[in-house]
Amino acid sequence: MSDQNATPIKVLSKTVWSPTLFSFTTTRPDGFRFEAGQFARLGVNPCELQHTDNAPDERIFRAYSVASSPYDEHLEFFSVVMPDGAFTSQLQHLAVGDTLYLNPEPFGFLTLSRYQEPAPKTLWLLATGTGLAPFLSMLGDLSVWEQYESIILVYSARTLSELAYTDRINELADTFGKLCDNPAKFIYVPIVTRESVSGCLNARIPALIASGELEQVAGASFASDCHAMLCGNPQMIDDTKKALQDKGLTMNRRGVGNIAVENYW
C-alpha cells in the first residue's frame, strides 16, 4: 500500500535512554497486524508537531522495526537520533499527544517463519543499537519461548548508557519463563565496546565470535543447525555474517540455512 494511505496514530509515551537513543509508544490502529521481527513505515509531518513553528507541511516516511509484541494493544518503536536527518531531527522532539502516520502494511522478512520447521534447539539473536527492536518483539511472543530449548540474546552498545531495555529484557524472561511449561533457557549477553563495564563483554560481536569468547560466555555453540538472526548497523551485519560463515553457518534462503538478516538501510 502507498504511504498516501497511512493511518494517523497518537504518541502515548516516550522514553529517553541516552542523548542519542529514545523509544516511544503509540496507539495501534484496528486491523494492523504484523509478525514479530517485521518493520513498519512511520511518517511525520513537521508542521503538525507541538514543538515546531513554520515547518514544512509534508510527510516524511522511514522504516522502523516494531519493538512491541504482535499481541500488545499499543505499538512501540526504538530510534536513534541523527541531528542532520530529516526524519529523526523531528522525531527526537516527540511529545505525548503528537500525531504520526503508519503505513497499514508491515514489511520485512526477519521473522522466524522464514525458517523451515522443525526448529533447532538454539536461537541466537545478535543486535547492535536500535537493532534490538525486532528481537524485543520476538521475546514478547509466547510461541518463541516454546519453540526453542535455548534463546541467546547478544546486545552490543558503545556505552553503558546506550545499553537500553535491560529491565524489559529481564521482565520478559521472567514472565515467559513462568507462563511456559517447558520454556527456553534464556541467556543474555550484554556488550559495551567503548567502556569497561563489569558484567559486560568489551569487544565487537564479530571479534567475539571469531575468538570463541561469545560461545564460551553463552555456554552454547554456533551449531550447524542453529538459527542466528542479525540486526544492527550495516558494518556489524557484514562482519558478523563473515564470522558466522567462518564457523560453518550459511545464509538462510528459501527457508534453508542458519543466518537471517534485515537490510533496510
The string of pLDDT tens digits covering residues 83-141 is 777 787 778 888 999 999 999 999 999 999 999 888 899 999 999 999 999 999 999 99
Is residue 36 within 8 A of residue 137, CB to CB? The reply is yes
What pLDDT was estimated at residue 254? Answer: 87
What pLDDT was estimated at residue 46? Answer: 79
| CA neighbor of 103 nearest in space, from 74, 61, 70 | 61
What pLDDT was estimated at residue 4? Answer: 82
Q: Is CATH 2.40.30.10 what the domain over 3-102 is classified as, yes or no?
A: yes
What pLDDT was estimated at residue 56? Answer: 66
What pLDDT was estimated at residue 112? Answer: 94
Q: How many CA atoms lie within 13 A of 127 on its CB side?
A: 25
Q: Mean of the per-residue pLDDT values for the chain?
A: 92
pLDDT band at 162 (very low <50, low <70, confident <90, very high): very high
Q: Over pLDDT 70: what percentage of the chain?
A: 95
- pTM of the model as a whole: 0.94
Average pLDDT score over residue span 195-205: 96
CATH number attached to the domain at 112-261: 3.40.50.80
Q: Is the pLDDT of residue 2 over 60?
A: yes
More confident residue, 262 or 76: 76
Distance CA 127, CA 184 (A): 19
The answer to whether domain 3-102 and domain 112-261 are alike in fold is no
What pLDDT was estimated at residue 264? Answer: 55
> Domain residues of the chain, as ranges?
3-102, 112-261
For 36-76, the pLDDT digits (tens) are: 999 999 999 877 776 666 666 788 899 999 999 999 999 99
Cell numbers linked to 232:
544492527
CA-CA-CA-CA torsion sign (52, 58, 63, 65): positive
Is residue 37 within 8 A of residue 105, CB to CB? The reply is no
Distance CA 152, CA 136 (A): 12
Q: Is 118 buried (19+), middle (13-18) or exposed (0-12) by CB count in 10 A?
A: exposed
Q: Over pLDDT 90: what percentage of the chain?
A: 79
